[in-house]
Amino acid sequence: MGLGKTIQSIALLDHLIKICKIRGPFLVIAPLSTLDHWKKVAEEWTYMNVVIYHDRLGAQGRNEVQNQDWYYTDVTNKGTITQKSKLTKFNLMITSYEVFNQDLLDTLIDVPFQYIIIDEAHRLKNKQAKTLVLLKEHPCRRIMLLTGTPI
């Protein structure tokens, strides 16, 4: 309820990019109903390249997002397209809990996230929560837990 968690978190990521020269990539895990809000705030207040990693079409739609918005590609002189590097096009990826749980071990584990923000983190209160178990497997430098609900 209007505590300013979203804008403060986005401001921190912007500070990491501009002042600390940490390009990212960063990840926000949030409830499905707030994904568009996170993207809107990030695009309104920063110059970050933001991608929402969620698609109503399921895994096929997410594969399309991976192919188009994840890594830079190189067109060789013979016309073939190859992945140029592991440098991501985006600074900030926003996804839902469900997609994170489904795709972490298949695709997201390969992305070297520098900072992960978990919105509504009171969902992780249970030590056996699937998202919490998967987060422990991801090699991330820092994780921020956001909640407006007393734990």
CATH 3.30.70.141 for the 5-58+89-145 domain, yes or no: no
Q: Which residue has the tokens 């940490």?
A: 22
Joined tokens for residue 81: 């397209």
Joined tokens for residue 13: 């990521």
Note the pLDDT of residue 148: 78
Q: Which residue has the tokens 């990019």?
A: 17
Note the pLDDT of residue 44: 92
pLDDT digits (tens, 9 = 90+) for 75-107: 555 545 455 556 778 889 999 888 888 877 777
Q: What three-state secondary structure class fits 69?
A: helix
Note the pLDDT of residue 60: 64
Cα separation of 60 and 62, whole Å? 5
Q: Which residue has the tokens 């067109």?
A: 75
Q: Which residue has the tokens 């013979």?
A: 78
Note the pLDDT of residue 66: 64
Note the pLDDT of residue 84: 52
Note the pLDDT of residue 102: 82
Residues of the chain with pLDDT under 70: 1-3, 56-86, 128, 150-151
